[in-house]
Structure 1
């Protein structure tokens, strides 16, 4: 086809400029440019580390109302004469005839507040622990007394614990009713059981800055140093650190706060913090060191990558998340305390009656504590 005479004398560059100018002026081209820009912006954002973005929120958050508040509580003992639980400030008021010891068993277990059959599951947990603790001995009084720290205990479980004959006969317990304290605003919480052969001096519930009403429940117990024969106070913390990926490093702040109550209280000889640490981010592996604590499992020669130490991910149906060692025991550095035989317990344990369900989605963890 012949080009019109007017264009035959026009230079090619001028024609190109005229075409581009006309195209840019069209509505369709402007829409195309806007869409292309949006695509490029979206791809750029998706390539960023969103975790780091979330850890530096633009708007300051108001702390929890109870953040950093520590409430002094009582301890409950069961009166066989009155057939009821009675609260006292310490076990001396309960006419305790206990003698301080230099060692005790420590058990931590997240008992899963959300799964079905909560009362059957907590009853099965107590039956399992009873069998484990008295295994291999004909006289239960010859075994080391135990401190049991439980997380995710719900309202139904508290009722079941309070009615459990083994618990009534052998333990002091921090909580036996669910209509006061943290239970008024939370579906679940921390509960600690202390063998009645151990003297309890104080109970303290330390509230975290938390979106999930998390805390650290301390019991101060009387023990004796195996090295000096001095009667000392050992503080045992029961904690459930914040779950999920948050807008900030919640768990580090929470553990640092709890660690102060173990490391810097001059009335405390040494102590422990045990529970569900929810280590789901890489930084979680560093928080014990940053809080000034040691991980008893690692101190004893365990490895973070060894599946034998895992405590979560195997008893959850269709679990898409990595299996991990969620449940841990921390203690101060130094030569005042040693935790031995740290290992998972309760693996594969289910309720005895149908429908048979796992006691928890977590395994428990056992440790033998020695006060040096």
Structure 2
């Protein structure tokens, strides 16, 4: 093109400008526009999203998820017997239910429920469980000269180890007054576990059935149920009440173990048409945020909260005061749950065994946990 025509076609401001300067002007003008800035932001978001997605895909391919194999007996419920002490033969005998033991019982509409984690790992286990039984005996008969006038008790214990089993089976008060689910450490769960759940039922209460429900657990945890005979205070009908003794999974896990476990146990008190109502008591290990709603999620009520207690009130705490080097905050570990509705009420729910130690040297705390007492009324 003739230079003179080229100069006429170009703007006056560009006629003396070099081509590179012209290009720079157009670029700077375009970048300054609002539409261009929006385009750049959108492009950046797209690139970031694609980068994250590609990283996730790479990560998934590098570390494939490996399905965990459930516990071999997860969800299995074994029907067991109950043990009673034959004073003539001076030995424990197992029966399927207490009718076989010629028990003379009268159904009652109320009974005391005590749950206590007795700490399998601390020293002096036999002295500690003996001290626990002495303490409970004194507490239950306190204020009365006739032990038969007090409400019978169901005692659910967690973390009972092999030495404690032996001590319980040799305890004269236990022999005389209770049926016991486990009295030998070479049978059942005790063949593979260092500790477990044991339930004691007052001999004035008829035991109809014993069930041990195994959880999916890395720690061989379970819920030990006893079906007892009671009577409705409202209708005078003789009914079956199921009392569960549980120790939910410990520590923080990658999955909500405790919720899954409690939901499974809750089915046995919520949906079994053969029982009138029930309870689940024990060490709930509430150390994750989701544990605060675990009872509601499982369809149960927390007796302590129903009775007006507060989760934040230190008076309800059951763990963290008799331990050293606490990994978790002091809180209410031990609880009593029951179904909603008007068939059952648990009153006077409170910690027990606070500060209690063995009488013999070295004097040690009975447990790192307090126990929990509740007065159960069948309505």
Instruction: Say whether the fold is shared (TM-score over 0.5).
Output: yes
Residue 41 to residue 75, structure 1, CA distance change in 2 (3 Å)? farther
Query: How far apart, in 2, do the equivalents of 1:149 and 1:248 lie?
Result: 27
Q: Deviations over 1:209-258 (max 9, x none)?
A: 00000000000000000000000000000000000011210000000000
Residue 255 to residue 320, structure 1, CA distance change in 2 (3 Å)? closer
The DSSP-based 3-state class of the residue aligned with 2:144 is coil
Residue 116 to residue 335, structure 1, CA distance change in 2 (3 Å)? same
1:58 Cα offset (Å): 3.0
Q: Establish whether residue 315 from structure 1 lines up as the match of residue 322 from structure 2.
A: yes
Q: Which moved more, 1:316-325 or 1:47-56?
A: 47-56
Query: How far apart, in 1, do the equivalents of 2:54 and 2:366 lie?
Result: 41
Residue 35 to residue 302, structure 1, CA distance change in 2 (3 Å)? same
Q: Deviations over 1:148-191 (max 9, x none)?
A: 00000000000000000000000000000011111111100000
Query: How far apart, in 2, do the equivalents of 1:96 and 1:207 lie?
Result: 29
Q: How does 1:1-372 map onto structure 2 within 5 Å?
A: 58-372=65-379
Query: How far apart, in 2, do the equivalents of 1:24 and 1:290 lie?
Result: 56
Query: How far apart, in 2, do the equivalents of 1:64 and 1:332 lie?
Result: 28
Q: Deviations over 1:265-298 (max 9, x none)?
A: 0000000000000000010011100100000000
Query: How far apart, in 2, do the equivalents of 1:97 and 1:343 lie?
Result: 31
Cα contact 1:262–1:272 (8 A) shared by 2? yes
Cα contact 1:342–1:365 (8 A) shared by 2? yes
Residue 26 to residue 149, structure 1, CA distance change in 2 (3 Å)? farther
Query: How far apart, in 2, do the equivalents of 1:227 and 1:95 lie?
Result: 28
Cα contact 2:108–2:230 (8 A) shared by 1? yes
Cα contact 1:173–1:192 (8 A) shared by 2? yes
Residue 224 to residue 29, structure 1, CA distance change in 2 (3 Å)? same
1:101 Cα offset (Å): 0.1
Residue 52 to residue 84, structure 1, CA distance change in 2 (3 Å)? farther
Q: Deviations over 1:318-350 (max 9, x none)?
A: 324310100000000000000000000000000
Cα contact 1:311–1:362 (8 A) shared by 2? yes
Unaligned runs of at least 5 residues, structure 2: 1-7
The DSSP-based 3-state class of the residue aligned with 1:47 is helix
Cα contact 2:287–2:328 (8 A) shared by 1? no
Cα contact 1:56–1:247 (8 A) shared by 2? no
TM-score with structure 1 length normalisation?
Answer: 0.86
Unaligned runs of at least 5 residues, structure 1: none
Query: How far apart, in 2, do the equivalents of 1:118 and 1:2 lie?
Result: 104
1:18 Cα offset (Å): 26
Residue 320 to residue 98, structure 1, CA distance change in 2 (3 Å)? same
The DSSP-based 3-state class of the residue aligned with 2:50 is helix
Query: How far apart, in 2, do the equivalents of 1:244 and 1:49 lie?
Result: 29
Cα contact 1:108–1:274 (8 A) shared by 2? yes
Cα contact 1:64–1:211 (8 A) shared by 2? yes
Cα contact 2:116–2:371 (8 A) shared by 1? yes
Query: How far apart, in 2, do the equivalents of 1:371 and 1:332 lie?
Result: 12
Cα contact 1:88–1:94 (8 A) shared by 2? yes
TM-score with structure 2 length normalisation?
Answer: 0.84
What is the RMSD computed on CA atoms of the aligned residues?
A: 7.2
Residue 55 to residue 2, structure 1, CA distance change in 2 (3 Å)? closer
1:196 Cα offset (Å): 0.1
**Greater Rg over alpha carbons, structure:** 2
The DSSP-based 3-state class of the residue aligned with 1:129 is helix
